[in-house]
Amino acid sequence: MKKFVMFLVAAMVAFSFATTTFASEGHKVSGEVTKVEGDMVTVKDDKGKEHKLHTDKTTKMSGDVKQGAKVEAEMTEKGHATAISVKK
Ligand SMILES: [Cu+2]
């Protein structure tokens, strides 16, 4: 019985994790900031592709996002950055 309960809990945790991952899908971009222009931040990813991200008050910024900084960003399909954090 205990094992069954443990299994249920594990299954629920796994399921909620999967749901969260799916819900926050968008795009994750990690790379180097090549340009900061007003509220637009350009990030060049590891494959050399440039992503233009729009930032505003709702963007969670952590660290000093500036040219040359290595960052990890979360963006929506429309190119709006929901979070940008500087990697250490
Ligand atoms: Cu935006």
State pTM to two decimals: 0.69
The per-residue pLDDT for 85 is 97
Mean pLDDT of the chain: 88
Render pLDDT for 52-85 as a digit per residue (tens, 0 to 9). Answer: 999 999 999 999 999 999 999 999 988 999 999 9
Number of domains in the chain: 1
The per-residue pLDDT for 1 is 72
For residue 69, the tally of other CB atoms under 10 A from its CB is 17
Highest mean pLDDT among 1-5, 22-26, 34-38: 34-38
Q: What DSSP character marks residue 76?
A: -
For position 58, which CATH number holds? Answer: 2.40.50.320
- Residue 32 in any domain: the answer is yes
- Residue 14 in any domain: the answer is no
- Residue 60 in any domain: the answer is yes
Q: What is the domain extent for residue 40? A: 27-86
- Residue 22 in any domain: the answer is no
- Residue 68 in any domain: the answer is yes
Residue 3 φ then ψ, to 5° = -65, -35
- Residue 6 in any domain: the answer is no
- Residue 15 in any domain: the answer is no
CA of 5 to the centre of ligand 1 (A): 44
CA of 8 to the centre of ligand 1 (A): 40
**Mean pLDDT within 18-36:** 77
Cα distance between residue 18 and residue 24, in whole Å: 10
The per-residue pLDDT for 71 is 98
